[in-house]
A and B are shown apart, each in its own frame.
Chain A
Amino acid sequence: MAGFFHDNLSYFLSGISVGGQYALIAIGYTMVYGILRLINFAHGDVFMCAGLVMVYFSSSFPFTISIPLVIIATVLLGFFIERVAYRPLRSAPRMSVMISAIGVSYLLQNAALYFTGGLAKVYPSIPFLSDTVVIWDATTKMVTLVTPFLTIALVIVLTLLIKHTKTGMAMRAVSRDFETSQLMGIKINSVISMTFVIGSLLAAVASLLYFTNYASVTPTSGSMPGLKAFVAAVFGGIGSIPGAVIGGFIIGICENIIRGGSSIFNIPGTGWTTFSDAFTFAFLIVILVVKPTGLFGEKAVDKV
C-alpha cells in the first residue's frame, strides 16, 4: 500500500493541490447560490481576470504590493459585477439573472481577449510559492504543499465569520428565507455585496495558487476550473461551505487519478485522458439524479 502511494504520489499531490484551488472557487459559487439561487457563471472568469491583473501588476510593482493590489482589484470587480449586472434584475425572473451572468462571462472573456491580444500571458513566478521541493521522491512546487493548508485555514476563518459575526448571521438568515429576513430589517443588498466580496477574495487567492502551478493565463482559462468548482459545490450540497471544500478536493483528486489511469492501474490506452473533463460532468449528473441535495445540502421544499 505504501509502495502504491509512493509510486503514484505525484498524481495525489497535484490532485490535492488543484482540489484545494477548486475548493476556494467553489465557495464563491456556493455562497452566491445559497443566497441568490443564482449560478454565477461569471465567477470562473473573475478568477481568470485575477490572474491577468496579476500578470500586468507584477510587471510594474514588487510582489509585496502587487499581490494585495490584485486581491483588491478582484474584490472590486466582483462587487461591481453584482452592482451592475445582478442588482437591477433582483425582481426579474431567475432565468434573466442567469442569462445576465452568462452575458457577463462572455463580456469578461472578450475583454480579456482584446487586452491580451489573444495570446497566453506568462504568469510571474512568485518566490517561495514557485520554489521546487522534493517530498518522498516526488518533485513538485511549494504551492502544492501550501494550497491544502491555506485552503483549510481560510475555510475555518470563513466558518467562524459566518457563525459568530453579525454579517454572518445576516447571511445565514438571508439564505434561509430571503423575504422574511428583509422584513426583519436585514439590509439585503449589503449582505449580497458582502457575499460577492468574500467570493471574489477567495477566487483571487485561488488564482494566485492555481496560476503559480499552471503558469499561463488565457481568456478561457477560467471557464473549465469555474465549471468544475461549480460541480464541486453541487456535490457538497449547494449552500454548504464544508461541502464545497470536500467536493473540490474529491474532484481534483479523481481527475488526476483518471489522467494517470494508464500508469496507476496499468491499463494502457489513450482513452483515459480524453475523459478527465467529461468525468466531472458525468459525476455531476449522477449526483443530481441520485442525491440532488448533495452531501450536506438541505432539502428544499417547493411551496405551491
Chain B
Amino acid sequence: MNREKRNRLIVIWVGVAAVYLAVLICELTLRPTAMLLTVLKKGAIYSLVAVSMNLLNGFTGLFSLGQAGFMLIGAYTYAILTMPSEVKTSQSVYKYYECFITFDTGVFAGLLAAGLIAALFAFLIGWPVLRLKSDYLAIATLGFAEIIRAICQWDVLGPVTNGANLLRSYIDLTRVIIPFTDIPFPPTLFVFIVSGVCILLIVLLINSSYGRAFKAIRDDETAAEAMGINLFRHKELSFVISSFFAGVSGALLAMFQYTVQAQQFKTMMTYEILLIVVIGGIGSISGSCIASFLYITLSEWWLRGLDMGTFLGINAPGIFRSGFRKLVFSLIIMVIVLFFSRGIMGDKELSLTRMRLAFRRASSRLRKEAHS
C-alpha cells in the first residue's frame, strides 16, 4: 500500500516536472508573442481561479458567485502596491487625483497582499452572507461583487484606486526578475510556478482533515453538524481561503494584461469561471485545470477563425463574422451542461491507472466491434 502510494507520488511529480520543463522549453524556443504562450499564461491564471471556485462550489457545497469581485480586489491591490512610487507621484497614471499611497513593494509582497486583502474582504462579507442557503447565497455573493466594483470606481477613493480609470505601469509579467539577479523571469514559467504552488496548497488543504470536514458539509450539512463540525467556522474558512487564491489569480491577471480596470470584472466573468468549473467537473481539481486550458485555447485561439471569415478552410464571411465564435461556444457549453453534466472528469482526478483502464476498455470495445 505504502509502496504503491509512493510510486504514485513519484509518477505525479515526474509528470508535473515534465510539464514545467515543456513550458520552459516552449518559452525559450518560441517568440515571446507566440499565441501558444499567451494561451498557456491565461490558461494557468484561469486554472487557479477555477480551482479556487471549485474549492467552494465543489468541495464545500457553497454556491458562491463572487469570484470576479475578489479577483478585482486582488488585481487592484497588486497594481497599486507594485506601481513604482515615482509613477504614482507623477501625473502619468493618477491624473486627476493625488496618490495617497506613496510607497511601492516587490512582486511577491504584492501577490501576497493581493491574496490577503481579498481574504480580509471575504472574512467580512462571510459574516452576514454565509448564513444564507444555496441560491440566496449565490445572489448575495453576486451582489457583493457588484458592490465591490462600485466601491473601486467611487471617486472619493480616487487617491487610492484612481477612481474608475485605468491602472497601469505596475510590475507586469515582462518586468519580473529572478530574485537577487537581474535576469528577467520567463513570464509563462512564472505564471505556472505561482499558479502551481497555489493549486498545490489547495490540494493539500482538501486532503487534510479540514478538507474532509468540507466534504462532509457538502454531502449533508445536518449530519456534519451532528458529527461536531462547526458549520459556520468551516464555511468561513473555505470562503476566505478560496477568496485568497481568487485574489492571487486576479493579481496574475493584472500582470498578464499590463493594465487593469474595475469595469472588466463583471458578473459575466464569474459566469465564465463557473462554466469552466462545470465543464471540468464539479469537485475535480485536474478537471478544472484541463477545462481552463481548453476554454482559453478555444476562445482565444482555435475558434478565432469563426470571427475572422475563414474557419477550417471554409471561407464564408457572411456567416463567420464578429460574434459567431461566442455563439458556437455558448452552444457547446449548453450541450455540455445538458448532456454531460458531470463534465470532463466528473468528481474524479486525472490518474494513470484510470487512463489505462479507460484505454483498455475502449480498445476492447473497438476489437469487439471489429469482430462482429
Binding site for B on A (CB under 8 A): 37-39, 84-85, 88-89, 92, 94-96, 98-100, 102-107, 110-111, 113-114, 117-118, 223, 227, 230-231, 234, 269-271, 274-275, 277-278, 280-282, 284-285, 288-289, 292, 304
Contacts and interface: CB of A to CB of B under 8 A. Distances in A.
A277 B149 CA distance: 10
Interface of B: 57, 63, 128-129, 131-132, 134-136, 138-140, 142-144, 146-147, 149-151, 153-156, 164, 222, 267-268, 271, 274-275, 278, 282, 321-324, 326-327, 329-331, 333-334, 337-338, 341
Contacts of B333: 103, 106-107
Contact of A282 (B143, B154, B274, B329): B143
Given A89-B338, A103-B330, A277-B146, A98 B323 contact: no
Contacts of B57: 95
Given A234-B139, A274-B154, A110 B326 contact: yes
Contact of B334 (A103, A113, A284): A103
Contact of A100 (B149, B324, B337): B337
B323 A99 contact: no
Contacts of B322: 114, 117-118
Contacts of A89: 338, 341
A304 B222 contact: yes
B337 A99 contact: yes
B334 A292 contact: no
Contacts of B153: 274
Nearest to B278: A99
Contacts of A227: 142, 267
B271 A284 contact: no
Contact of A107 (B129, B164, B331): B331
Contact of B327 (A114, A223, A231): A114
- 4 closest Cβ pairs, A-B complex: A281-B143, A278-B150, A114-B323, A110-B326
Nearest to A33: B135
B219 to A, nearest CB: 12
B323 A270 contact: no
Contact of A106 (B128, B146, B147, B271): B271
Contact of A98 (B63, B144, B164, B338): B63
A231 B139 CA distance: 9
B275 A106 contact: yes
A106 B330 contact: yes
Contact of B323 (A110, A274, A277): A110
Nearest to A223: B267
Nearest to A283: B143
A285 B144 contact: yes
A91 B132 CA distance: 23
A281 B282 CA distance: 28
